[in-house]
Chains A and B, each alone.
Chain A
């Protein structure tokens, strides 16, 4: 109870520090400008370009007008929205906590006048703000150059619903990466676990192929997981293939996942610190 009170008392201070943390992360991210431009603007673009050609080859091969209700243009739209959304999703490089645990550098966070979770959410804010701008720039550039092929949100409401799901979903992704990073307290090296999650989540989210093209049983499983509601579902909302009832269900899945992951992250961090014996800076 006293811990909860202490947390509540420190909350205003943590919130006050949050913008400073986000600004600091911004300076770090933009220190190498060429890398920043490449990662922010071009990340996630090559795959949809190639997949467009794969889908074209598929439609040419079958001569069919649609596959599982998707025309070729629908699939291109799906790829464009997926590319834009992918920019906003943290990846395994978003956190370097595991490396710092391994090197014994976590000590510094224990003496800072700010909770590590504030640093985490500060980085999340900076990342999300920058990547949202990058996604918007990507969408605007495409709309200008390829106007007739470029997808528009089916409605403002759908856009708001998709953005809500995306915001909660990216939080779930970050928390998952955080938990996996924390496992370095026990396992030392977790690089492969981070990558493993990335591969599995890419498939589950529909980033590699639309979930609608998958067998019904697989779809049923994926529809109760947060990766699906972070990528595939927002794209289908933007395309007008899902409605308000789906949005409400997705919101429930993501909110539940977020709360569960946040609790797990907190527990993993606290328990990990009890084991930690780093002597680094």
Chain B
């Protein structure tokens, strides 16, 4: 992508954010309702694992403090989805209804224009809550908070956002190929079932698959592993580089899959 195209997409993102703020000013109850909804989601996850850790000290090599960091990255990546990628929840429906025509002819990448169109202000509040929990988790898990740790954390947050975008693109891709299957919803359920548990509960082959091929585990375990020093610096660079390439490949596959779309189905 050229510098001009990048700046153009940033401008589009800015416009989406402006429209998102205006839209949300019309649904103020829904605004707070969504904030509380996500807090309920965070609370249910925290409660489940606090209950489990009341009976054991360690689950698949993750103690309670480390697990909070893992959950923190789950919340941060979920909040990113809420802020920017909310429209992708409706992709299967819009695909069935044939509502995607206008995104083909607009000036920009189709995936970006469609996926990022619904900026969510309440998602920003949830991002603040998620970041606070992550900071709390890291504060409890790491003895000393250094500038290096803060930098690694910021990179790890970017990794979790990137992987969330890859996964959302993936289940959109599944919908494109298995038209009318609602497959994206099932894939989403499967992804969530795996993402909020450490991938270390699986055997070595499944774990590798979930971390680096269909990177569901990478949503949480790779960034948490980077912050907790479970990766060597070289290992972290390789993992991040690989996930970067995987994302580019996924976006290309989505663009190719989108050629199958025909509005006549609507």
Minimum CB–CB distance for A66 against chain B, Å: 10
Flag A32-56 by CB within 8 Å of B: 1 or 0 each: 1011001100111011011101101
- Residues of chain A with a CB closer than 8 A to B52's CB: 54, 58, 209, 213
The answer to whether B190 and A46 have CB atoms under 8 Å apart is yes
The answer to whether A215 and B36 have CB atoms under 8 Å apart is no
- Residues of chain B with a CB closer than 8 A to A51's CB: 197
What is the bound-complex CA distance between A259 and B214, given in angstroms? 47
Q: Residue among A34, A50, A188, A213 with the most chain B CB within 10 A?
A: A50
CB proximity to B under 8 Å, residues A15-47: 32, 34-35, 38-39, 42-44, 46-47
The answer to whether B51 and A188 have CB atoms under 8 Å apart is no
Minimum CB–CB distance for B129 against chain A, Å: 15
CB proximity to B under 8 Å, residues A149-195: 187-193, 195
Tell me if B65 counts as interface (CB < 8 A to partner A).
Answer: no
* Residue among A38, A44, A199 making CB contact with B181, cutoff 8 Å: A38
The answer to whether B201 and A202 have CB atoms under 8 Å apart is no
A192-B182 contact in complex given A199-B41, A213-B55, C-beta closer than 8 Å: no
* Residue among B36, B51, B193, B202 making CB contact with A213, cutoff 8 Å: B51
- Residues of chain A with a CB closer than 8 A to B51's CB: 209, 213-215
Tell me if B54 counts as interface (CB < 8 A to partner A).
Answer: yes
Tell me if A67 counts as interface (CB < 8 A to partner B).
Answer: yes
The answer to whether B186 and A38 have CB atoms under 8 Å apart is yes
Tell me if B262 counts as interface (CB < 8 A to partner A).
Answer: no
- The secondary structure that dominates the A interface is helix
What is the bound-complex CA distance between A189 and B30, given in angstroms? 6
What is the bound-complex CA distance between A191 and B197, given in angstroms? 26
Tell me if A6 counts as interface (CB < 8 A to partner B).
Answer: no
The answer to whether A196 and B40 have CB atoms under 8 Å apart is yes
The answer to whether A34 and B178 have CB atoms under 8 Å apart is yes
- Residues of chain B with a CB closer than 8 A to A46's CB: 189-190, 193-194
* Residue among B41, B59, B96, B181 making CB contact with A54, cutoff 8 Å: B59
Q: How many residues of A contact B (CB 8 A)?
A: 40
What is the bound-complex CA distance between A193 and B30, given in angstroms? 8
The answer to whether A192 and B34 have CB atoms under 8 Å apart is yes
The answer to whether B48 and A192 have CB atoms under 8 Å apart is no
CB proximity to A under 8 Å, residues B165-190: 178, 180-183, 185-186, 189-190
- Residues of chain A with a CB closer than 8 A to B197's CB: 50-51, 53-54
What is the bound-complex CA distance between A32 and B180, given in angstroms? 6
Flag B41-56 by CB within 8 Å of A: 1 or 0 each: 1001001100110111
Q: Apart from A32-B181, A54-B59, list 8 A-B contacts with CB within 8 A.
A: A32-B96, A32-B180, A35-B182, A50-B197, A61-B59, A188-B27, A196-B33, A196-B40
Closest 10 CB pairs of A and B: A35-B182, A34-B181, A46-B193, A57-B60, A53-B201, A192-B37, A46-B190, A196-B37, A32-B180, A192-B33
Q: List 24 A-B contacts (CB under 8 A).
A: A32-B180, A34-B178, A34-B181, A34-B183, A35-B183, A38-B181, A38-B185, A43-B186, A47-B193, A50-B193, A57-B59, A57-B60, A58-B59, A61-B60, A67-B55, A188-B27, A192-B30, A192-B34, A196-B33, A196-B37, A202-B44, A203-B47, A213-B52, A214-B51
Which residues of B pack against A, CB within 8 Å? 27, 29-30, 33-34, 36-37, 40-41, 44, 47-48, 51-52, 54-60, 96, 178, 180-183, 185-186, 189-190, 193-194, 197, 200-202
